[in-house]
Structure 1
Amino acid sequence: MVCWLGPDGMEVEHIILNGRPCLRVCHWVRGTRYLVAYCWHPRQVAQHVDLSELVEVVDLGQVRARRRSRDHARS
């Protein structure tokens, strides 16, 4: 799953909703996540958050696991 964080607690996640890819926009306020919108296109996300301010969150555990499986397949 891909996730981007923006200013003021905004979060955008790539999810599957009803079998379709979707972008879920949420707003974190004092430790509580509030759903802002389900978006089907980045233009819709731009109505809620400035896309240029989003930063991708990288799960290093998944990166390491993929690298290990790739290296193992080469051996």
Structure 2
Amino acid sequence: MPRWIGVDGWEVEPIVLNGRQLLRVRHLGYHIAYCRSVGKVARHVDLADLVEVVQLPTQ
């Protein structure tokens, strides 16, 4: 599952809550918001600071 991290402990990840697809925003592990769009995520964190976390296959 994709997720994005940013500077100063910001994290964004897609989730399904009550049958709805949302983006969960956390800061330093604390819940900040559930967002329905990327535009709403941008209210909390600078999107340019986010990088996707890629899991590499293990051998």
In the TM superposition, structure 1's runs of 4+ consecutive aligned residues that sit over 6 Å from their partners are none
Residues 4-47 of structure 1: CA deviation (Å, up to 9, x unaligned): 0011000000111111111000011xxxx100000000010000
In the aligned structure 2, how far is the partner of 1:51 from the partner of 1:14? Answer: 15
Partner residue, 1:9: 9
**Distance in 2 (alpha carbons) for counterparts of 1:36 and 1:10:** 10
In the comparison of the two structures, how many residue pairs are matched? 58
> Which protein is bigger by CA-based radius of gyration?
1
Query: Structure 1: which 5+ runs fail to align?
Result: 65-75
- Distance, in Å, in 2 between the alignment partners of 1:37 and 1:2 is 18
Could you tell me which residue of structure 1 aligns to residue 47 of structure 2?
51
> How many percent identity over aligned positions?
57
* Residue equivalent to 1:27: 27
Partner of 1:72: none
**CA RMSD between the two structures:** 1.1
Aligned partner of 1:18 in structure 2 is: 18
Find the aligned partners of 2:19 and 2:56 in 1 and give their Cα distance.
27
TM-score by length of 2: 0.91
Unpaired segments ≥5 residues, structure 2: none
Name the CA distance, whole Å, in 2 between partners of 1:57 and 1:45.
17
